[in-house]
Amino acid sequence: MVVPEGCDPIIEVRDLKVNFYTYAGVVKAIDGVTFTICRGETYCLVGETGCGKSVTSKALTRLIQPPGRIEGGEIYYYPEPGKRVDILKLSEKELRRIRGSEITYVYQDPSAALDPLYTIGYQVAETMKAHGLVSRIKEGVRRAVDILRTVAMPDPEVRVRSYPHELSGGMKQRSVIGMAIANRPKLLIADEPTTALDVTIQAQIMDLLLELKRKTGMTLLLITHNLGLVAEYCDRAAVMYAGRIVEEAPVRELFKNPLHPYTQALLKAVPNPLARMDKLESIPGSVPDLIRPPRGCRFHPRCPLRMDVCSRERPPEVLRGRGHRVACWLYTDEGGVAGG
């Protein structure tokens, strides 16, 4: 595992395994994922849909629902430096105190996260009341005005009395972010927070999240398939493929010197508006069926550089430079080309 120098961890995940037990078979959704998020940073999990980013983020507070199950590994949360909480050993009651309070989530679709029957003010107030920040909903609604102002909601005094259907997509997402920051979380997990929004609103929401992070000192875990967001907003990123982390590096290093053939292919597939392009690059093949994942390196059926060993054995993680790790046989003695 690679932890940057001076990192004060807030989350540590070791060898996490999550399976889903379906009628079709066991989906090995997360297969040995290891990473550390440092306090105060913006860490990103990036990859195609279905690669396991959201499942990983949900596992951090044991939000995996049946037929899913955490099958192995360790998850530690550090509410403050030196104080370690074993998430997998907490009782459900203890976990509820952390979830929605110290660790909160913002999801892709704000409409699904809001209850259509209650006003925005009530919903923000309810979050605060559930975690003891206010004793009465009335008091919470009063404080919700300030929270809505913090998330740059236009006319917060009016909007606090609005129902979700009266708000635009951007306003709904601001409300959800308001609910997520109401209890002053230490870690905010934003799972594709801008995917359902149009491009200008996307930038506003991302700027807002970063601004809130700067003001409150919270840590941000961003889940996205959008490499543009990674480049612009993240400090470090882990690239996931088929339930595994294949590469992790500081963002600048990842874009300058991508090592894993999957990361390289992803970056090549990003259209360059300044270059003349006759056709868009794509990655041949499709993401594997995780009921019967490919043996060895899960990317091998699509990898142009695969070797014999790739289809036999799982590639080890190799450290290449400061904070840069890659799971690929190319960078081992067996690999030859880039190895050593």
Tokens at 194, concatenated: 């801008």
Nearer to ligand SF4, 78 or 329 (CB): 329
Interface map 44-83 toward ligand SF4 (x if CB under 6 A): ----------------------------------------
Say how far apart CA 161 and CA 210 lie, in whole Å: 27
Say how far apart CA 124 and CA 176 lie, in whole Å: 8
Q: What angle do CA 9, 318, 78 make, to 5 degrees?
A: 10
Least distance CB 302 / ligand SF4 (angstroms): 8
Per CB under 6 A, the list member of 124, 197, 239, 330 interacting with ligand SF4 is: 330
Least distance CB 320 / ligand SF4 (angstroms): 13
Nearer to ligand SF4, 99 or 298 (CB): 298
Region binding ligand SF4 by CB under 6 A among candidate stretches 92-100, 157-165, 174-182, 327-335: 327-335
Region binding ligand SF4 by CB under 6 A among candidate stretches 95-103, 145-153, 219-227, 325-333: 325-333
What phi and psi, each to the nearest 5 degrees, are found at residue 316?
-75, 160
Nearer to ligand SF4, 7 or 307 (CB): 307
Region binding ligand SF4 by CB under 6 A among candidate stretches 101-109, 208-216, 232-240, 323-331: 323-331
Residues whose CB is less than 8 angstroms from the CB of residue 94 and which lie 6 or more positions away in sequence, other chains included? none
Cis ω for the linkage preceding 67 (within 30 of 0)? yes
Touching ligand SF4, residues 247-306 (CB under 6 A)? 260-261, 297, 299-300, 303, 305-306
Q: Is 310 a residue that touches ligand SF4 (CB under 6 A)?
A: yes
Amino acid at 276: R
Least distance CB 2 / ligand SF4 (angstroms): 18
Say how far apart CA 193 and CA 106 lie, in whole Å: 6
Sign of the CA dihedral with 168 first, then 173, 174, and 178 last: positive
Say how far apart CA 273 and CA 57 lie, in whole Å: 32
Least distance CB 306 / ligand SF4 (angstroms): 4
User: Rounded to whole angstroms, what are the CA distances from 95 to 36, 102, 209, 295?
Assistant: 20, 10, 25, 36
Residues near ligand SF4 (CB under 6 A) are 260-261, 297, 299-300, 303, 305-307, 310, 315, 328-330
